[in-house]
A and B are shown apart, each in its own frame.
Chain A
Amino acid sequence: MRYFSNFIDSGDHFTYVCLSYFIVFLILFLMFFLSYTKTKKLEKEFTLLSKNETKK
């Protein structure tokens, strides 16, 4: 806990560290989110197409 409270009181360094963590997690979250939505969209499209194919 002492390390953490010293870190919070570290002024400029606190901003630099928080900014770094925020940017990394944002990039990784976007990567995950875009991959997830792409997969779901394609899954839907594929199910629809295969249904149409079997009807024919």
Chain B
Amino acid sequence: MIFKFANPLRFQKFVSKYQPTLLYLSLIFLVCGLFFSFFNSPPDYMQGETVRIMYIHVPCAWFSLMIYSLIAICSLFSIVFKHTLADIISRASAPIGASFTLATLITGSIWGKPTWGTWWVWDARLTSELILFFIYLGLILITTSYEDKSKGDRYASILAVVGIVNLPIIKWSVDWWNTLHQPASISKLSSPSIDQSMLTPLFIMTISFLFFFVSVLLMRIKAEIIQRKIDVIRFNRVD
């Protein structure tokens, strides 16, 4: 299955066919998610109405971690097997991951003001998430600053694999240290500590973001493949 779509041409056809559908699905789930977030979910007994920020903050945070995991796996795959598609997926994912991380930091900061009384604290969870954002920026910078794409991809892969140590720090920082950030509410699906009326919008928004991510990722992969084809034509011309 993986090797079937590892063929760039086949992959490009697949993207053209399914990318718009995924985007429409994302929009449908977004509308449903917004309905449940604003019309069908009560305010929290402690946070009040600001709990609604959680419905976008938490999915953004999950995706910032998930996308980085994807990049790290692809980077490892690229280092071991030197498969171009792994490099392409890493390259295409980094800006999307950076966007989700930035959204997480901003929404977290806005949520922090009414809840903690401050926009920012150098808390373990917040700081490690900020470091993740800088790693994403580093990946984008490395991949775009080399004229020889394979060199840029190789260095970015190394950074991505090294940077994976930050993921467990982000995930368990709230358990390892005494942080201002609350511990995970949905660590075990069997007994989440938040009410069903709040879980529903959270999961619908997560599904919407998932479709959005896959849709934009496919589009960016397609752009990257075309860019490489253009580079080959130009290179042959110079030769």
Chain A interface residues toward B at CB < 8 A: 1, 3-4, 6-7, 10, 12-14, 16-17, 19-21, 23-24, 27-28, 30-32, 35-36, 38-39, 42-43, 45-46, 49-50, 53
Q: Output the nearest chain B residue to A10 by Cβ-Cβ distance.
A: B49
- Is there an interface contact between B114 and A16, defined as CB atoms closer than 8 Å? yes
- Is there an interface contact between B43 and A12, defined as CB atoms closer than 8 Å? no
A20: shortest Cβ distance to chain B, in Å? 5
Q: Output the nearest chain B residue to A36 by Cβ-Cβ distance.
A: B219
- Is there an interface contact between B40 and A16, defined as CB atoms closer than 8 Å? no
Residues of B with C-beta under 8 A to A12: 114
- Is there an interface contact between A17 and B52, defined as CB atoms closer than 8 Å? yes
- Is there an interface contact between A24 and B56, defined as CB atoms closer than 8 Å? yes
Which one of B136-144, B180-188, B221-229 is at the A interface?
Answer: B221-229
Total interface residues in chain B, CB < 8 Å? 38
B88: shortest Cβ distance to chain A, in Å? 13
Q: Is the interface of A mostly helix, strand, loop or mixed?
A: helix
Given contacts A20-B107, A24-B56, contact A31 B95 (CB under 8 A): yes
Given contacts A17-B53, A27-B99, A35-B216, contact A3 B42 (CB under 8 A): yes
Residues of B with C-beta under 8 A to A31: 95-96, 99, 216
Residues of A with C-beta under 8 A to B227: 42
- Is there an interface contact between B95 and A20, defined as CB atoms closer than 8 Å? no
A23 to B222, CA, bound (A): 27
B100: shortest Cβ distance to chain A, in Å? 8
- Is there an interface contact between B223 and A42, defined as CB atoms closer than 8 Å? yes
Among A3, A30, A35, point to the contact of B39 (Cβ < 8 A).
A3
- Is there an interface contact between A13 and B114, defined as CB atoms closer than 8 Å? yes
Within 8 A of A (CB), among B88-111: 95-96, 99, 102-103, 106-107, 110-111
Residues of A with C-beta under 8 A to B110: 16, 19-20, 23
- Is there an interface contact between B111 and A43, defined as CB atoms closer than 8 Å? no
A56: shortest Cβ distance to chain B, in Å? 9
- Is there an interface contact between A16 and B113, defined as CB atoms closer than 8 Å? yes
